[in-house]
Structure 1
Amino acid sequence: MLKKGNLRWWIIGLVTLGTILNYLARSTLSVTAPTLKEEFSMSTEQYSWVVLAFQATYTIMQSVAGGILDALGTRLGFFIFAVGWGLANMAHAFATGWPSLALFRGLLGATEAAAIPAGTKTVSEWFPPKERPLATSAFQMGTSVGNMIAPPLVAFCILYWGWESGFIVTGALSLVWAGLWYWGYRSPAEHKKLGEAERAYIEEGRADDVQGKPATRKEVLKSRSFWAIAIPRFLAEPAWQTFNFFIPLYLVAVWQLDLKSIALWAWLPFLAADFGSLAAGLLPTWLMKKGANLITSRKITMTVGALCMIGPACIGLAGSPGVAIALFCVGGFAHQMLNGALLTLCSDVFDTKTVGTASGMTGTIAWTGGMMFTFLIGKSADVYGYDPLFVALAALDLVGAVVLWVLLRGRK
């Protein structure tokens, strides 16, 4: 028997590296936020408008980016967006106040929107169903690795070269990756280094795939499967947005930590999120070996993650910044576990020709939820504090788990 090869894992490794740099670029702002608030005399509400500029364009463009990826192909489409986000991130260094910062943030959101749809589409193209959870977990781990790298790297840049350098360095790294992607990626049908044994393995595994997949945009929007993913993502995304954009501000506002302390501790929740991504890849495989069908394995994984969100709901009870960070770690683990299950479902239940579009549209709905919650934080955090907001995040995820089970009941 011919050795089937591992080119598909090298491909997902390249996607993971791109996701790391995508999230490193977007996380640069959260690390520089305390410095920029002082530099530009920004209030928390003004900062929330800067964040909302990113979220608004990212929200709208996910659906557009998914369609572009399906139309142009993953290779060219992802390359164009990566060049765009690298340049947009570097432009932040030329901001002179919160309005111009919001403008550049909006450009970054519009171009970064392709990352998750591109990753989901790559998984659909390159992996049989039984390997998709682990492949999705691999590129999803890039989201938390990028967030994990950002505090020490960007803080180092700020301390030695000024806040502008953080944006220049992280943006330039993305441009380097864009060239690497265009050089190294091909679809399975076009990749000259894909062996026949591995090609056959990928194709034969599709015999176990979900049947009756929506193959057009209209069919996607009419399918119960789409809303079973989109609604839980809408309810779950606020947690990840809060962890991404507000952990440093929370640590400064509630525990009065300085920049060096933030750099030392703020990356830990994203390390825990990596383990959550890994759990999202391993648990479904174990459940299927125990007899669960493909769809049920994803639903159980999402539900376990939602239950773990009870941890960050208790942050208001923390008696020290260390306990608060530990509970944020539980939240990072929980979110990436449940989100990984939902992303894998996207590649499971939609046709390869429409998975980018479907993933983009569910992402648009998800980020609408994140944007609304960010607006709520900007309006209420300075008045009521963060504690009620953390409780709300857990409640939303538990509701999302119920919706998933109800809408996908009977689906095999």
Structure 2
Amino acid sequence: MFASPRWRWFAAGVFTISSTLNYMDRTLINVLAPVILTELHLSQTGFGYLISVFSLVYAVSSPVTGWFLDRVGLNRGISAAVAWWSAAGIGTSLVTSVPGLAVCRGALGLGESAGVPGFGKLNALYLEPDERAIGAAVNQIGLSVGAALCAPLFVPVAARYSWRVPFAITGALGFMWIPLWLWTSRMISPRQKGEPDGERRGSLALLKDRNLILLVIANVLWMGGYSLWTNWTTLYLVHVHNLTVQESARYVWIPPLVSNAGGFFGGWLSLRWIRRAYDPVVARTRAVWVSAAGSLVVLLLPFASGPGWATVFISASFFFALAGSVNIYALPIDLFGAGNAALAVSALTCAFGLLQTVISPVIGYLGDHRLYNEVVWLATVPLAMSAIVLQILSKQRQTAA
């Protein structure tokens, strides 16, 4: 069995493949939205409600799947989750109606709600504390690569065959990943066995913890921009810059790819400050402040003269959204340890799912009425508020110390 830090990072890389497949399954419907909306006679508002179905199930099930991962262990828990969401993806390829599509999206949300908490638990078990934001960035790479690959890989497949075929392909790939991870986990041992970095706490006590509540609030305020460019980039370029779906495929892969660099930038910032002996919470809060300031560049988006410049501003927004996000999602592990990692992180994914449930129909309504400037403000204004909430958490922690 391999136990060196290099091999533990290799294990994290293999696990990240599941994140790539997770986001492929999730993002396909966004990339192919114009085709699906036309075939099923859906408006952008209706599409927003479809996203809300996924998001609501994702949110409600996140604490349950987080508890499940902490209870049964990482390997059994993530294997069950990947099998579930892969089956839901294959099911999507078979639907013929909007209700059927909604059922499959809900089933997908249930399975995929374990993805981010699962990586959070892996992060706690395999990586050192000062490596965790970088670990979160690696996971974000998996998510972003999944989103970035969707358009160039699957738009041509959908155009040649059907929009259903890509869903069947990604579902099959998920089932192939499960034995790969189980083999990897047997060959590469975690950083330490048992419950490192803190004892396991009762679920109710953890969910009532003031620090976790503040993190949830900060996450809700932060993730609007992430949700916006994850779900609406294709529709934005098609409706604002009058591109076809095939033309938009030249651009929509760029923002998720650029966001990878943002994840590493955010991880590098906090790593730099932690190695200068800053408390991890203080270091990550500083990184979120920097990211909030950088995100203001998206306010130039309404002035973009064409799809190229629009993609530049969207990419910059996504860059800083990820820079802040990797630090927010590392904080539960800093505060609550590996024994509670999946449940604590799942509280953030639950909040994100509820956020998407609420704002997706609103964004869809604004998009139907071509009020995209208002959409940009809706996603940007709360970022500074998120940093303020984390500042309160940081000050509270320093006072308690």
Task: Give the TM-score normalised by the residue count of structure 1.
Answer: 0.91
Contact 1:314 1:391 in 2 (8 A): no
Deviation at 1:336, TM superposition (A): 0.7
Aligned residue in 2 for 1:227: 213
Residues 149-228 of structure 1: matches in 2 within 5 Å? 149-186=149-186, 193-194=188-189, 199=191, 215-228=201-214
1-side partners of 2:43 and 2:136: how far apart? 38
Deviation at 1:279, TM superposition (A): 1.1
Aligned residue in 1 for 2:250: 264
Specify which of 243, 254, 267 is matched with residue 281 of structure 1: 267
| One-letter identity of the residue aligned with 2:222 | A
2-side partners of 1:66 and 1:110: how far apart? 11
Deviation at 1:61, TM superposition (A): 1.1
Contact 1:117 1:357 in 2 (8 A): yes
Aligned residue in 1 for 2:384: 398
Offset from partner CA, 1:238-277 (integer Å, 9 cap, x none)? 2222111111111111111112221111011101110011
1:386 partnered with 2:372 = yes
Structure 1 stretches of at least 4 aligned residues deviating more than 6 Å after TM superposition:
none
Offset from partner CA, 1:280-315 (integer Å, 9 cap, x none)? 221112123344322211111111112222122331
2-side partners of 1:193 and 1:249: how far apart? 43
Specify which of 351, 375, 384 is matched with residue 361 of structure 2: 375
2-side partners of 1:279 and 1:193: how far apart? 28
Partner-residue secondary structure (3-state), 2:369: helix
2-side partners of 1:161 and 1:379: how far apart? 31
| One-letter identity of the residue aligned with 1:411 | R
CA distance 1:68–1:213, change in 2 (3 Å): closer
Aligned residue in 2 for 1:409: 395
Aligned residue in 1 for 2:93: 93
Partner-residue secondary structure (3-state), 1:94: coil
Deviation at 1:45, TM superposition (A): 1.5
Identity %: 25
Partner-residue secondary structure (3-state), 1:411: helix
Contact 1:305 1:335 in 2 (8 A): yes
1-side partners of 2:108 and 2:384: how far apart? 31
Residues 8-407 of structure 1: matches in 2 within 5 Å? 8-186=8-186, 193-194=188-189, 199=191, 215-407=201-393
Contact 2:58 2:109 in 1 (8 A): yes
Partner-residue secondary structure (3-state), 2:338: coil
1-side partners of 2:154 and 2:343: how far apart? 33
1-side partners of 2:79 and 2:127: how far apart? 21
Contact 1:237 1:367 in 2 (8 A): no
2-side partners of 1:99 and 1:4: how far apart? 49
Contact 1:59 1:363 in 2 (8 A): yes
Contact 1:234 1:370 in 2 (8 A): no
Contact 1:89 1:167 in 2 (8 A): yes
Contact 1:268 1:325 in 2 (8 A): yes
Moved more, 77-86 or 159-168: 159-168
CA distance 1:112–1:386, change in 2 (3 Å): same
1-side partners of 2:139 and 2:390: how far apart? 23
Deviation at 1:178, TM superposition (A): 2.0
Partner-residue secondary structure (3-state), 1:329: helix
RMSD across aligned positions (CA): 2.0
Structure 1: gaps of 5 or more residues: 187-191
Structure 2: gaps of 5 or more residues: none
Moved more, 326-335 or 358-367: 358-367
| One-letter identity of the residue aligned with 1:297 | A
1-side partners of 2:308 and 2:376: how far apart? 17
2-side partners of 1:76 and 1:338: how far apart? 30
2-side partners of 1:213 and 1:279: how far apart? 31
2-side partners of 1:362 and 1:164: how far apart? 31
| One-letter identity of the residue aligned with 2:102 | A
2-side partners of 1:74 and 1:291: how far apart? 31
Aligned residue in 2 for 1:189: none
CA distance 1:404–1:88, change in 2 (3 Å): same
Partner-residue secondary structure (3-state), 2:395: coil
Deviation at 1:347, TM superposition (A): 1.2
Contact 2:13 2:138 in 1 (8 A): yes
Offset from partner CA, 1:94-135 (integer Å, 9 cap, x none)? 221222211111111111110000000111111221221212
Contact 2:51 2:356 in 1 (8 A): no
| One-letter identity of the residue aligned with 1:277 | G
Contact 1:92 1:101 in 2 (8 A): yes
In the alignment of these two chains, the number of paired residues is 395
Partner-residue secondary structure (3-state), 2:223: helix
Deviation at 1:339, TM superposition (A): 0.5
Deviation at 1:148, TM superposition (A): 0.5
Deviation at 1:6, TM superposition (A): 1.9
